[in-house]
């Protein structure tokens, strides 16, 4: 086993973990970690399709994570507001 294989296995395990997530914030956070691991793996092993895919997915997941965090904050704000009445 060369030094790159553990990175590939880690990236794969992170993808598997995303399928076990219930919350969107957790899912996107793990997906971002997976993207970073796959970018490292694709770059080290020179697998351009994997590298390109995860370079595109990384900002997509980051954007969706930001949306989920904003939505969660807005929902919490509305809950607090409804309790005050």
pLDDT for the residue 80: 84
pLDDT for the residue 28: 97
pLDDT for the residue 85: 60
Integer distance in angstroms from the first to the last C-alpha of the chain? Answer: 63
pTM of the shown model: 0.89
Q: Taking the domains of the chain in order of start, what are their residue ranges? A: 5-84
Mean pLDDT in consecutive groups of 10 residues from the start of the chain, 85 residues = 91 96 96 98 97 98 97 90 71
pLDDT for the residue 31: 97
């Amino acid at each position: 086993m060369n030094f790159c294989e553990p990175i590939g296995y880690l990236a794969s395990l992170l993808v598997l973990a995303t399928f076990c997530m219930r919350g969107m914030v957790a899912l996107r956070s793990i997906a971002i970690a997976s993207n970073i691991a796959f970018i490292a793996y694709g770059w080290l092993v020179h697998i351009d399709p994997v590298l390109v895919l995860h370079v595109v997915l990384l900002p997509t997941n980051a954007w969706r994570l930001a949306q989920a965090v904003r939505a969660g904050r807005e929902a919490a704000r509305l809950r607090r507001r409804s309790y005050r009445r």
